[in-house]
Amino acid sequence: MSEYILEIENLTKEFPGVRALDNVSLKVKKGEIHSLCGENGAGKSTLMSVVSGVYPKSAYEGKVFYKGRETNYHSVKDSEKEGLAIIHQELALSPYLSIYENIFLGHMKTTLGVINWNHYIKESQKFLDRVGLKENPATIVSKLGVGKQQLVEIARALSKRVELLILDEPTSSLTDEESAKLLDLILEFKRQGITSIMISHKLNEALKIADTVTVLRDGKSISSYDVKKDNLTEAMIIKDMVGRDLTRRFPERKSRPGETVMEVKHWSVYHPEYHTMKVVDDASFYVRKGEIVAFCGPMGAGRTELMMSLYGQSYGFRSEGELYLHGGARVALKSARAALNNGVGYVSEDRKVLGLILIQSVKVNISASSLKKLSRFGVVEASREIEEVEKYRRDLRIKTPSINQLARNLSGGNQQKVVVSRALLADPDIFIVDEPTRGIDVGAKTEIYEILNNLVAQGKSVIMISSELPEAMGMADRIYVMNEGKIKGELAHDEADQEKIMRIALLDEGGVTSLGEQYE
C-alpha cells in the first residue's frame, strides 16, 4: 500500500483567459502536515478545489489519486463520503442556525422523516470537545467570533470522519492567541492520524507545524521540501514563491512628518444594537502630514469601529466627539461621500462584503468612487476611465487577463489591490487602511507596503489598522494601542516592540500612556 494518501499528476486547470494550474504534480504522505505556499494567484486554492471535487473531473486535465484510487468526483459531497474535507478561507456556515445544526447540516439521518434533535445535540458535544470549543451546542453561530466559527467548521469536518483535512488560510482572520490554539489543534489531529494540508501565507506558522512544504508559482509546482531534513527557512520559501530574493520585508523610507492634518478629541461610539453600550470610549489621537500611524490591539479592541465611525458614520448607533481636518475648523462627516469630499479614503478589512462588488468588473470596481472625476457634463468618459484603470492595473501589478474580468474571479491578493486602486484613484489626503495585507502573500504585501510609502512620500497621511505587530512596527512612525474601546497608549517607531505593545494593551489602570512614558 502506498505511503501517500494524495497524489496529483500533471494537473492542468484553465479558466477563460487564464491558466490557473499548469502541469502540477504533488504528493502528500499519510499522517503528515503538508503546507502549500505561494503568491496570490499561484493556484493553491484552485488546486485544493480540484482535489475536493469543487471542480468535476471533466473540468481539468491530469489525474488525482486519493487513498490509492483515481478520483472522479462530481461534487464536494462525493469527496466528503471518502473522508476528505476542505475548509475554505471564507467560512461556509449558516449564521442563523445553531452550532450543532451547522455541524450536521446536510448529513442528518431521520426516522420516519423525523430528526432526533436531542441525539445531534449530544453528538455535537463530542466534536466540540475534540476541537476545544466550550460553547453550548444550541448557540447561534452568528453570536460567535471568527475564531470560534473556525472551530465549528473543523468540528463539522470531524463529524464526517475526516481522514484528509484541507485548510485554506485558517488563521488569516484570527488573533495570535487564536492562531496558536488552532495550530496546536492541527498538531493534535496529526497525533490522531489525520492528514492535513494547510494553505498559508504566514510562513512562520508553516515552518512551525508542517512536515513538508510545497511551493507553487504562476500555477506551477516549483519545489517541495522536508522541513527538518532540508533545514527550511522563510527566505528559501520566499525565493521560490517570488522567483527572487526578497531582501527586505518592509521597504525603507525617510520619515518627515509635517503639520497635523487630522485630530480626533474625546471620540465615543455607541453599539448599533445596544444603544447605551460604548464600543469606543473617549478616544483622542492625531495624524500628521506625511506619516503612517498604526492602530494595534487584540481582536475586538474597537479599532475598526473607531475608523468606520469617523469615515462618514459608517458604524454605530451614534458617535460623539470632535473631528478636525487639515488644521481647520471642526467637521462632521455624515456620509462616506462627505468623507471622500473632505479628502478621507477608506479600505475595509472585509474586501468581499464591504470592499468589492464581486459581480462587477475590475474596471467598475476601481472607478466606482471617482465617477464624478471621470465625467464630463454628467457623462463618464469611457476612454479616460479605461486609461485610469489600466494605469492602476499596471502600477499595482493586478493579475487579471482583462479589466473586464469579474472581481469575484480574482485571487484574494489581487482583489485587495483592486480595493486599494479604487481608493487611490479617489486621491484622498488621509488614507485609512484596515488590515491591508490580511490573507495575501509576502510578495503582494511588499507591494502594498511600497504603495503606502509612496503615498506618504507625496505628503499624504496613512492610518493603518494591523493585527500583525511586526507589520505595524516595520511600517509605522507612531503606534496607538487600543483595547476594550480605549486608546491605552502611544509609542514612537524607535521604542516600539511586541512586548511593550502587549503590556500597554493589557494595562488595567492608568489611561493613556504617552510616548515612552511607561518605559522611561
Q: What is the pLDDT of residues 4-19, one digit of tens each?
A: 999 999 999 988 767 8
pLDDT of residue 288: 95
pLDDT of residue 248: 63
- The domain made up of 4-242 has a fold known as Rossmann fold (3.40.50)
Q: Which of 343, 352, 262, 346 is nearest to 308 (CA)?
A: 346
| Interatomic CA distance for residues 460 and 276, integer angstroms | 36
CA 92 to chain centre: 15
222-245 mean pLDDT: 87
Beta strand 33-38 with 212-217 is parallel
Q: Quick one: what percent of the chain has pLDDT higher than 90?
A: 44
Cell of 111: 426516522
Distances (CA, A) of 104 to 62, 82, 119, 136, 419: 33, 16, 11, 15, 36
Q: Which value, to the nearest 10 degrees, does the dihedral of the CA atoms of residues 183, 162, 412, 93 take? A: -100
Question: Is the pLDDT assigned to residue 433 strictly greater than 50?
Answer: yes
Question: Is the pLDDT assigned to residue 343 strictly greater than 50?
Answer: yes
Query: Band of the pLDDT at 517, cuts 50, 70, 90?
Result: very low
Question: Is the pLDDT assigned to residue 510 strictly greater than 50?
Answer: no
Instruction: With 0.85 as the threshold, say if the pTM is over it.
Output: no
In one-letter notation, the amino acid at residue 95 is P
Q: Quick one: what percent of the chain has pLDDT higher than 70?
A: 95
344 or 297: which carries more pLDDT confidence?
344
In one-letter notation, the amino acid at residue 340 is L
Q: Which value, to the nearest 10 degrees, does the dihedral of the CA atoms of residues 314, 320, 325, 331 take? A: 90
Question: Is the pLDDT assigned to residue 444 strictly greater than 80?
Answer: no
293-307 mean pLDDT: 87
Length of the chain: 520
Question: Is the pLDDT assigned to residue 285 strictly greater than 90?
Answer: yes
Q: What is the pLDDT of residues 351-361, one digit of tens each?
A: 777 788 889 99
Distances (CA, A) of 150 to 31, 119, 131, 389, 418: 22, 23, 10, 36, 27
Q: Which residues, in sequence order, are bridge partners of residue 181?
A: none
Q: What is the pLDDT of residues 165-174, one digit of tens each?
A: 999 888 876 7
User: What CATH number was assigned to the domain covering residues 260-343+428-519?
Assistant: 3.40.50.300
Q: Which of 34-43, 45-54, 427-436 has the lowest mean pLDDT?
A: 34-43
Burial label for 340, CB within 10 Å (0-12, 13-18, 19+), is buried
Residues of the chain with CATH 3.40.50.300: 4-242, 260-343+428-519
Burial label for 436, CB within 10 Å (0-12, 13-18, 19+), is buried
CA 294 to chain centre: 17
**Average pLDDT taken over every residue of the chain:** 87
Greatest extent of the chain over all pairs of C-alpha atoms, in Å: 76
Burial label for 287, CB within 10 Å (0-12, 13-18, 19+), is buried
Q: Any residues with CB less than 8 A from the CB of 101 and at least 6 apart, and which?
A: 94, 120
189-205 mean pLDDT: 90
Fill in the DSSP letter of residue 459. T
8 Å CB contact between 401 and 17: yes
Query: Band of the pLDDT at 514, cuts 50, 70, 90?
Result: very low
Q: What is the pLDDT of residues 408-428, one digit of tens each?
A: 888 777 888 898 898 889 889
Query: Band of the pLDDT at 512, cuts 50, 70, 90?
Result: very low
Cell of 154: 473543523
Q: What is the pLDDT of residues 106-144, one digit of tens each?
A: 878 888 888 888 988 999 999 999 888 888 999 999 888
Instruction: Please report how many Cα atoms fall inside a 13 Å half-sphere around the Cα of residue 341, on the Cβ side.
Output: 10
Question: Is the pLDDT assigned to residue 24 strictly greater than 80?
Answer: yes
Query: Band of the pLDDT at 515, cuts 50, 70, 90?
Result: very low
Please report the DSSP string for 294-340 in residue order. Answer: EEE-STTSSHHHHHHHHTTT-SSSEEEEEEEETTSSB----SHHHHH
Query: Band of the pLDDT at 507, cuts 50, 70, 90?
Result: low
pLDDT of residue 244: 60
Neighbour-count burial for 362-395, b at 16+ CB within 10 Å, e otherwise: bbbbbbebbeeebeeeeeeeeeebeebbeebbee
Burial label for 336, CB within 10 Å (0-12, 13-18, 19+), is middle
Q: Which value, to the nearest 10 degrees, does the dihedral of the CA atoms of residues 472, 474, 476, 482 take? A: 20
Question: Is the pLDDT assigned to residue 245 strictly greater than 60?
Answer: no
8 Å CB contact between 73 and 79: yes
CA 233 to chain centre: 23
Q: Which of 444, 343, 472 is nearest to 42 (CA)?
A: 444
8 Å CB contact between 33 and 226: no
Q: What is the pLDDT of residues 175-195, one digit of tens each?
A: 777 788 889 999 999 999 999
